[in-house]
Amino acid sequence: MSEDSRSAIRRDAAGIAAYAAAFGASFGAVSVASGLSVAQTMVLSLVMFSGASQFAVVGVIGGGGTGLAAVPAALLLGVRNMFYGVPMTRILGRRDLTGPRRLVAAHLVIDETTAMAVGRDEPAEQRYAFWITGALLFVLWNAGTLAGAVGGSAIGDPATLGLDAMVPASFLALMWPRLRERQARWVAAGGALVATALIPLAPAGIPVLAAAPVAVVAGLFPGRATKGDT
Amino acid sequence: MIWVAVITAAVGCYLLKLAGVSLPPAVLERPDVRRVAAFLPVAMLAGLIAVELFDDGGRLGVDVWMLAGMAAAVVALILRQSFLVVIVVAAATTAILRAVS
């Protein structure tokens, strides 16, 4: 792996971590405003470490739901991290997935680290991207959460700064290299279509999960998926 | 009760991640599993983008300023800008349009 690609990966990871800090701060503020303590808020960021699931928990509790109603919502949104484990196991290989290292690697398997890793071509770059993004994101997400939970209302609405637009834009930027392949473009379009169609029909978390079978079909029937298209 | 929920949900989410990276190598070496694995993040991230853009609290809806930010990001990507530039362009476009509207 060249020093050029190393520093390019570090720059991208720093960009992700910077928005994670800002988002973590808004999560911390929202969580405390929803009635969770600073300690409960920090347990979510440290142990759950999955933004969508965390927002689901504080959303349910803040909306007046009992604490336990928040559990299935969080788990539903967390299932996609399990699916990301499949490509990540291939990328990380046995060296990163033995003993205690596997416990740490598993914790860092989230949207951003998966996208950063699969967006690279070289196996060494993929592993480097995963670990550097995971480490930076974990530190800054938690630092941001603490600042937001303690500082509370001093943090403005992230929408004013357009921070909410950064999330989809970053996922698009991360998978952009993969979209050079015709079949990957079809898979992306199919996933987006299925998820969109299910938004009004299924509870939160399900639409994104429902995009997974599109990948399964495309992977199992590679000929059929591109038929009449080449 | 909040503590029980926080800890159950947090540990559950971690165990899901752990299950995902605990698949045996024999399964992962299969060519069909490799192809599916390569497509999974693409399909789910595309689904995630769609939900970010079109989910208006469980209904279909769209924040046109966010959509404009995404369009600006696509232009930046076509112009081969770096990741940081792309996300800053998306945020700035959305923020400016919201401020003037």
Summarised one tens digit per residue, pLDDT across range A96-112 is: 998 899 999 999 999 99
Count H helices, E strands: chain A?
12, 0
Cα angle, residue A116 at apex, residues A113 and A117 outer, rounded to 5°: 85
Average pLDDT of the residues in A53-82: 84
- pLDDT band at residue A182, thresholds of 50, 70 and 90? very high
Report the distance separating Cα B71 and Cα B83, nearest Å: 15
User: What does DSSP say about strands B55-56 and B59-60: parallel, antiparallel, or unpaired?
Assistant: antiparallel
Amino acid at site A44 = L
Whether B85 contacts B65, CB under 8 Å: no
pTM beyond cutoff 0.80: yes
Higher pLDDT, A195 or B24: A195
* A111-118 and A3-33 helices, crossing angle to 10°: 160
Higher pLDDT, B36 or A128: A128
Contact assignment for B51 to A208 by CB distance below 8 Å: yes
Contact assignment for B23 to A86 by CB distance below 8 Å: yes
B21 → closest Cβ in A109, A196, A209: A109
Average pLDDT of the residues in B1-19: 95
Q: Is the pLDDT of residue B81 over 50?
A: yes
Average pLDDT of the residues in A123-150: 96
Q: Is the pLDDT of residue A155 over 80?
A: no
Q: Is B24 on the interface with A (CB under 8 A)?
A: no
- pLDDT band at residue A227, thresholds of 50, 70 and 90? very low
Listed residue (A74, A127, A123, A93) closest to B23, CA to CA: A93
Amino acid at site A24 = G
Contact assignment for B20 to A81 by CB distance below 8 Å: yes
pLDDT > 90 in chain A, percent: 55
A166 → closest Cβ in B35, B77, B90: B90
pLDDT in tens, B43-71: 988 998 999 899 998 899 999 999 999 99
pLDDT > 70 in chain A, percent: 93
Q: Is B28 on the interface with A (CB under 8 A)?
A: yes
The alpha carbon of residue A66 and the mean position of all alpha carbons in its chain are separated, in whole angstroms, by 26
Q: What is the pLDDT of residue A61?
A: 84
pLDDT in tens, A44-61: 999 999 988 998 888 888
Q: Is B78 on the interface with A (CB under 8 A)?
A: no
Q: What is the pLDDT of residue B72?
A: 98
Interface residue of A61, A164, A178 to substitute, partner B, most B CBs within 10 Å: A164
Contacts of A89 (CB under 8 A, 6+ apart): A97, B20, B21, B23, B28
The pair of three-digit structure tokens given for residue B40, joined into one six-digit string: 């999974």
The pair of three-digit structure tokens given for residue A105, joined into one six-digit string: 């690697």
Across chain A, mean pLDDT equals 88
Count H helices, E strands: chain B?
5, 2
- pLDDT band at residue A204, thresholds of 50, 70 and 90? confident
Q: Is the pLDDT of residue A228 over 50?
A: no
- pLDDT band at residue B97, thresholds of 50, 70 and 90? very high
Amino acid at site A92 = L
Q: Is B62 on the interface with A (CB under 8 A)?
A: no
Q: What is the pLDDT of residue A225?
A: 46
In angstroms, what CA-CA distances link A134 with A8, A20, A35, B11, B57? 16, 11, 29, 19, 29
Contact assignment for A173 to B45 by CB distance below 8 Å: no
ipTM: 0.89
Q: What is the pLDDT of residue A13?
A: 95
Amino acid at site B100 = V
Q: What is the pLDDT of residue A230?
A: 37
Helix, strand or coil for residue A108? Answer: coil
Average pLDDT of the residues in B67-91: 93
Q: Is B60 on the interface with A (CB under 8 A)?
A: yes
CA atoms within a 13 Å half-sphere pointing along the CA-CB vector of A118: 34
The alpha carbon of residue A83 and the mean position of all alpha carbons in its chain are separated, in whole angstroms, by 12
Cα angle, residue A118 at apex, residues B28 and A123 outer, rounded to 5°: 70
Higher pLDDT, A175 or A67: A175
Average pLDDT of the residues in B9-26: 93
- pLDDT band at residue A159, thresholds of 50, 70 and 90? confident
